[in-house]
Amino acid sequence: MASPNPSSSSNASPSSANAHGSAGSVEVAPVRIGSIACGGNQPMVLIAGPCVIESLDLCLQIATSVAATCEALGIQYVFKASFDKANRTSGGAYRGPGLDEGLDVLRRVKEAIGCPVTTDIHMPEQAERAAEVCDLLQIPAFLARQTDLLVACAATGKPLNVKKGQFMAPTDMRYVVDKVRATRAELPGAGLGTGDAGAGGVMLCERGTFFGYGRLVNDMSGLPIMRGFGVPVIFDATHSVQQPGGLGGATGGNRAMVEPLARAAAAVGVDGMFFETHPNPDQSPSDGPNMVPLADFSNVLRRVHEIWRTVAAWRS
């Protein structure tokens, strides 16, 4: 894995950006995620794994394969899997193993693979427990405006990856950044120059916007707008092709569009990518229709990364 070199503080105020953001005028401060850093002049970050934790063996299989690809390409890897899918369409759908067992699986993946790990947080009371294991806390898109959840996660001191709500304008995500940074400013030792530049930062993640019922679209102009708040931006390629409620009691999707959208985002300019992958997506208990088959993932990632590297020198 490439070693991080975060050279600027993550405490720059988004108020320095104009109302619409401006990636060309605001420096993007790297965010430290365990042993790596995202943003600025850092190598591309990949957040990837299965949608939900099914078993330790499956998580290890996926993490081992993806980590090997990232090592070969010089990409920084963060393993992701959810211990609880609290927003399933149907109340009878599989949600995951729960907090205790799920965090144990994530801890064991982290120890075995040697990469940072992340998971979704749905309630404020989960934040502190998850922060004991996870290097990055992820806020689901439906909960992006939940102040108590944002504050609880920010108070752990761990970096956050906040997904833009499917109902939110990119410009509205500046207030998410404000909430997180205001909380961090009140933590003990804040602003004392500890030398841990980039620790406890915030990243924003694009994952599509509602376009009527059962469909999402991506406004690619939102990527530089959100990056203009001085934070790294991640593009979630697999959730962007979801078709909410498209299977009746479950969410559908169109995985054929994952790579084209990821290529487009890489060309526009982002700091990292988010994918979900599975050895047999059609047998996955969650989000199968929009996941990339594990056997195909290496080539997909290689092609997307080639575009990302080409435009990297153009990004501020």
- Confidence check: pLDDT of 115 > 90: yes
- Confidence check: pLDDT of 253 > 60: yes
In a domain, residue 4? The reply is no
**Of 71, 84, 94, nearest to 121 (Cα)?**
84
In a domain, residue 152? The reply is yes
The C-alpha atoms of residue 288 and residue 254 are separated, in whole angstroms, by 10
Burial of 303 (0-12, 13-18, 19+ CB in 10 A): middle
Find out whether 115 and 63 touch, Cβ atoms under 8 Å: yes
Burial of 273 (0-12, 13-18, 19+ CB in 10 A): buried
The C-alpha atoms of residue 134 and residue 117 are separated, in whole angstroms, by 5
* Mean pLDDT over each residue of the chain, to the nearest integer: 86
Find out whether 247 and 289 touch, Cβ atoms under 8 Å: yes
Cα separations in angstroms, 221 against 21, 93, 170, 268: 10, 35, 9, 8
**Of 294, 198, 303, 313, nearest to 259 (Cα)?**
303
- The mean per-residue pLDDT over the stretch 42-68 comes to 97
Q: Cα 195 to chain center, whole Å?
A: 25
Find out whether 162 and 178 touch, Cβ atoms under 8 Å: no
In a domain, residue 2? The reply is no
Which tens digit of pLDDT belongs to each residue from 176-207? 999 999 998 887 765 544 334 456 799 999 99
For residue 143, give every residue at least 6 positions away whose Cβ sits within 8 Å of its Cβ, in sequence order, or none.
Answer: 122, 149
Supply 311's token pair.
Answer: 């435009």
The C-alpha atoms of residue 220 and residue 252 are separated, in whole angstroms, by 22
Supply 181's token pair.
Answer: 């940074």
pLDDT of residue 86: 62
In a domain, residue 146? The reply is yes
For β-strands 117-120 and 233-236, DSSP reports them as unpaired
pLDDT of residue 188: 76
The C-alpha atoms of residue 20 and residue 174 are separated, in whole angstroms, by 9
- The mean per-residue pLDDT over the stretch 164-185 comes to 94
What crossing angle do the helices spanning 173-185 and 147-154 adopt, rounded to 10°? 40
In a domain, residue 281? The reply is yes
Phi, psi at 103, each rounded to 5°: -65, -35
Find out whether 81 and 106 touch, Cβ atoms under 8 Å: yes
**Domain assignment of residue 144, given as a range:** 14-312
In a domain, residue 232? The reply is yes
In a domain, residue 244? The reply is yes
Cα separations in angstroms, 291 against 115, 134, 193, 308: 21, 23, 42, 21
Q: Is 202 helix (H, G, I), strand (E, B) or coil?
A: strand
Supply 110's token pair.
Answer: 């982290």
Where is average pLDDT lowest: 152-156, 180-184, 249-253, 258-262? 249-253
pLDDT of residue 169: 96
In a domain, residue 224? The reply is yes
How many domains are contained in the chain? 1
- The mean per-residue pLDDT over the stretch 218-233 comes to 96
Which tens digit of pLDDT belongs to each residue from 71-114? 999 999 999 999 986 665 556 656 668 999 999 999 999 999 99
**Of 167, 110, 112, 117, nearest to 138 (Cα)?**
117
pLDDT of residue 76: 98
Four-residue CA torsion sign, 52, 239, 234, 303: positive
pLDDT of residue 56: 98
Q: What's the whole-model pTM score? A: 0.87
Which CATH number characterizes residue 255's domain?
A: 3.20.20.70
